[in-house]
Amino acid sequence: MFTCRFLVRLVSGAAIFLILGGGLLPATALGDHVSYKNDVFPIIELRCLACHRPGGDGFEKSGLDMRTYESLLKGTKHGSMIVPNSAFTSNLIGVIDHRVDSKLYMPHNKKKITKCERLIFRFWINQGAKNN
């Protein structure tokens, strides 16, 4: 299971590698894998499921059901939220990073998802968004 302390160490190590002229190594190259079950889903349970489930406001407006891996990858009635191996082009990252219209920021009217939680989502997506 990933922790914020681990993420700080990982990001710091990647920054040092960049300074030394390397290039950014993906987390998988470092031997670290983000687990959907142990790392990603607990964040979804805490931050997203109140709205993104049948009957919730987020589900009613967008069609995004985040109760299961399969329903998350299915996306919304407007399109996909996850592009495996590409966090930057994944709509999920856009809405939690607030890189979209302010009406689409997630979570709505609640505390912003932490930097560590956003990094976990990014690492998971960049590692292929696997159901692990």
Q: At what angle do helices 115-126 and 4-19 cross, to 10 degrees?
A: 70
3-state secondary structure of 7: helix
Cα-flanking dihedrals φ and ψ of residue 64, to 5°?
A: -85, 115
Mean pLDDT across the stretch 94-123? 92
> Region 110-132: what's the mean pLDDT?
95
Residue 91's pLDDT is what? 97
Q: Please state the domain extents for the chain.
A: 4-126
> In terms of C-beta density within 10 A (0-12 exposed, 13-18 middle, 19 or more buried), how is residue 36 classed?
middle
Query: Is 65's pLDDT higher than 50?
Result: yes
Token pair recorded at residue 55 = 């009957």
Q: Which amino acid is residue 125, in one-letter code?
A: I
pLDDT in tens, 78-87: 999 999 999 9
- Indicate the burial class of 129 (C-beta count within 10 angstroms; 0-12, 13-18, 19 or more): buried
pLDDT at 10: 57
